[in-house]
Structure formats: structure tokens, C-alpha cells
């Protein structure tokens, strides 16, 4: 699942990168720069950076220590693909629907991603995990 390139039929690639624990902060800066450059308002930039950060940190933590990231424009929003080469995700983690105890510290990342994005597609298995998201923005930016 290490393919983190944006499908060419979906739009122009704005960022492709590889991240490890030591480079997450720098990646957040680059993602924010891309989002601002695409005309997102401050709150949208913060939200988009949070979504990408959660996906990348989960991929690094659970997927073998590194992640590949691609961001591309695709009206009506920005798409992001995060891939890793881990062992895959258990089925109950792919689409977290059940209630989360309020005092639970971990396990909120993918739940937040599902709430903040118009689309979340998870492909997972023994060869790793690929998560594609659509972050909706106003179409006047395209």
C-alpha cells in the first residue's frame, strides 16, 4: 500500500511527501502552506492540518514508522492520501461508529477525520493501509 501519489485523473498534485516521527512538525507546516496557498481561511487551514496530522501520526504509530502523503485539488475540495506499510487495521477501527467513552484518551483520531471530511475511504490489509479523504471547501477557490 505504499502508493501515495495522487491519481492523475483527480487533479493536480499539490504535495507529495514522506513523514517519520521526527518530521511531522515540518510536514504540518508544509500542509498548512499548501492549504493557505489554495485559499483556505484560517479555520479551514487549521482543520485540514489537524485531519492530515491525525492520519499521518496514526500511520507512523501503527504502520511501520513512516507514512507517505499526497495532497491534490479536486473540486469541491482538497483530497489527501496517506499510506503506510503496516499490518493493516482491525475492522472495528476502519469506520468507528460506536460511542467512545468521554474519558478515553486514545482512539479519537480517525473518528475526528470521519466527522471533518466529506469522504473517507480506507483500504487496509496485510500490506498496509491507504486512507483517502475529501476535505470540502467552497468551490469558488477552484
- pLDDT band of residue 85 (cuts 50, 70, 90) is very high
Q: Percent of the chain beyond pLDDT 90?
A: 59
Q: In this predicted structure, what is the pLDDT of residue 139?
A: 55
91-124 pLDDT, tens digit per residue, is 766 666 655 555 555 555 788 898 899 999 999 9
The predicted model scores a pTM of 0.84
List, as one string, the DSSP characters of the chain.
Answer: ----SPPGGG--EEEEEEEEGGGHHHHHHHHHHHHHHTT--HHHHHHHHHHHHHHHHHHHHHTTSEEEEEEEEETTEEEEEEEE-SS---HHHHS--SPPPTT--SS-HHHHHHHH-SEEEEEEETTEEEEEEEEE--GGG-
43-83 pLDDT, tens digit per residue, is 999 999 999 999 999 999 989 899 999 999 988 899 999 99
Amino acid at each position: 500500500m505504499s502508493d501515495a501519489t495522487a491519481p492523475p485523473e483527480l487533479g493536480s498534485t499539490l504535495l507529495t511527501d514522506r513523514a517519520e516521527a521526527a518530521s511531522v512538525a515540518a510536514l504540518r507546516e508544509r500542509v498548512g502552506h499548501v492549504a493557505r496557498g489554495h485559499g483556505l481561511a484560517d479555520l479551514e487551514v487549521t482543520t485540514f492540518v489537524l485531519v492530515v496530522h491525525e492520519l499521518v501520526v496514526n500511520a507512523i504509530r501503527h504502520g511501520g514508522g513512516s507514512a507517505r502523503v499526497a495532497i491534490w485539488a479536486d473540486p469541491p475540495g482538497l483530497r489527501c492520501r496517506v499510506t503506510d506499510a503496516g499490518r493493516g487495521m482491525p475492522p472495528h477501527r476502519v469506520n468507528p461508529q460506536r460511542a467512545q467513552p468521554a474519558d478515553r484518551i486514545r482512539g479519537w483520531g480517525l473518528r475526528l477525520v470521519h466527522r471533518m471530511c466529506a469522504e473517507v475511504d480506507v483500504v487496509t490489509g496485510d500490506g498496509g493501509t491507504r486512507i483517502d479523504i475529501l476535505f470540502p471547501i467552497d468551490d469558488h477557490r477552484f
